Amino acid sequence: MFKHIKPFALIILAAIFLTGCLNGSPEEKIFKILEEVVVKENGFKEQQTPLVDLEKKESDIYSQIIKLGIKDYDKIVSLSNEALQNIDKREEHIKKEHDSIGEAEKEFKKIEELIKDIEKEDARNKAIKLNNTMKERFKVHEILYKAYLESLKKDRELYGLFKQKDLRMEDLQKKIDEVNQTYDKVIKENDKFNKLTEEYNKEKMEFYKSAGLKVS
């Protein structure tokens, strides 16, 4: 049942050397904003390892539960309660991640008013492209966040079922199917988010190069 979600891709920070002629230019101002976005997403980055660890732990708990029979009811209840506590922790981490992305989005929006002031057409077009990619990335993350919360809701319902002595197998299977459907959506949106992150990182470097910002 429980599907492992691969870690989200992260925005990269560039080590840069600014050319003197760009001092105070729109390109340099955009650069500073984009690198501040990376800093804002540090909170997002910090949630990845604990989230993965908690997901693995819950997968293990689920595996233990399905191997038990009705005679092990007390153990099933104990494990289910442990899983529910695990879900609460996952929700705390995913909300912190969401807050971090929200702060990054606010910072990123500052570049829009600067793009039109870029004189070099190629650099301006690359800035427009990365702006569109990042906006789509933020949109997908919001969808991903809501899908993840829905998966946590279904997980809670599942472990609540496990604690019922008169649980019917058809009810259990129905709930497991619902949980799987929510995780399918999470995995789908997660893949979209990671792809957009990789595209954005590439486009950001292309913009820096076109704008004359030396990066390494």
Looking at residue 1, what is its pLDDT? 47
Supply the pTM of this predicted model: 0.89
* pLDDT tens profile 42-70: 888 888 889 989 999 999 999 999 899 87
Domain range list for the chain: 27-215
Is residue 208 within 8 A of residue 18, CB to CB? The reply is no
- For residue 17, what is the enclosing H or E element? strand 16-17
Looking at residue 86, what is its pLDDT? 96
Q: Which of 186, 120, 127 is nearest to 153 (CA)?
A: 186
**What's the whole-number mean pLDDT along residues 149-175?**
93
d(CA 13, CA 83): 36
Looking at residue 87, what is its pLDDT? 96
**What's the whole-number mean pLDDT along residues 92-115?**
95
* pLDDT tens profile 4-22: 455 555 555 554 445 444 5
* pLDDT tens profile 186-204: 999 999 999 999 999 999 9
The CATH number given to 27-215 is 1.20.120.570
Residue 80, C-beta contacts closer than 8 angstroms, at least 6 positions apart:
65, 159, 160, 162, 163
- Phi then psi for residue 214, to 5 deg, are -80, 120
Share of the chain above pLDDT 70, in %: 88
**Chain-centre distance for alpha carbon 211:** 30
Burial of 191 (0-12, 13-18, 19+ CB in 10 A): middle
- For residue 214, what is the enclosing H or E element? strand 214-215
